Structures are given as structure tokens and as C-alpha cells.
Amino acid sequence: MTTATLDRPEASGAIGATMSERTQATIQSRFGPVELDERRQIRFDGGLPGFPECEVFQLDQPPGVETELLLLQAVDSPELSFFVMSVSEPSSIIRMEDVASTARALGISAENLLLLLIVTFKKNGDGFTKFVNLRAPIFIDVARRLGRQVVLASPDYSLKFQLT
């Protein structure tokens, strides 16, 4: 699996009229201002689980923060965002065959697949411990700029896998 990115020219305009009608704007997220850019936006038909009304998200660096994490920001609901991390080598935490079979079922080729995990934090003394949801990764087709969060069938995957 390659690490695909969203800012590919061939992905431009793939989301449809509602996205292309949006003008460049800035929204105030809970982490600060986010400049909207259609080239970094992803459509989740039917939304994410628990958020069916939020179908368009932008994948970006968190404003004003240097981190390896990305921010998945709802375009129409500034208060809704998730920290995510890209997984370039899933074999260490998610079995490659599970990723490949799910991507095939979604019609995503290996070269167009961007695999993301939602990150949560738990206060730990003076710092924070990071956890990822391995059970429900996010599959993104960067060519079509379409995404889907999929709950994997295997009970082997933790909802709160601690990162070291």
C-alpha cells in the first residue's frame, strides 16, 4: 500500500456540484481558523457513524500546531473534528489482508487508498496518552475524494489501542 495524498490534481472537482459551489472561506474550528480548500475535502456519503448529517470533511494540518497528526474537520459543522493519523504500513497494527479486502469491497485501488485511524487522548499526569481506534478505520479514495469509516468484522481490533 502506498501513502496517497488528497492534493492530487486529478481529484479536483470529483465531489460534485454542492462542493464546487462552495467559495473559499475560513471556518472557526475548535482548534482555530481552518481555511477551506476543496482539494483537501472528502465526501462521506451518509456521514460518519453517529454523524449522518456531516458528509463533507476537510483533511488538514491542525491550525497552529506542529504534529504528525491530521485534523479531519467537518466543513458544515465547525464544532465537529477528529484527530487522525495516516497508516502507511498497516501490517504492524492492522492485518494487510483486512485492509486489502475492505478496500476492494469499497472499490478503492491500492494506489488511491489513504488509510486513517481516529486518535483520542487521555490525560496522563502532565501529559497525554494517545489511543487509536483499530476497529473502525477510515478508508479514503484520494482519486474520487470519497471516504467511508468501516467497522472491521474481526474482534481482534481494539477500539482504544494505545500508541507508544
pLDDT tens string 91-120: 678 898 999 999 999 999 999 999 999 999
pLDDT tens-digit readout, 25-62: 999 888 889 999 999 999 999 999 999 999 999 999 88
Contact 47, 59 (CB under 8 A): no
CA distance 71 to 60: 5
126 against 137, higher pLDDT: 137
| Residue 145 in this model has a pLDDT that exceeds 90 | yes
**With respect to CATH, is domain 9-162 assigned 3.40.50.9100?**
no
Give me the DSSP letters along 41-88. EEE-TT-BTTBTT--EEEEEPPTT---S-EEEEESS-TT-EEEEEE-S
- Across the chain, mean pLDDT equals 86
pTM, full prediction: 0.83
90 against 59, higher pLDDT: 59
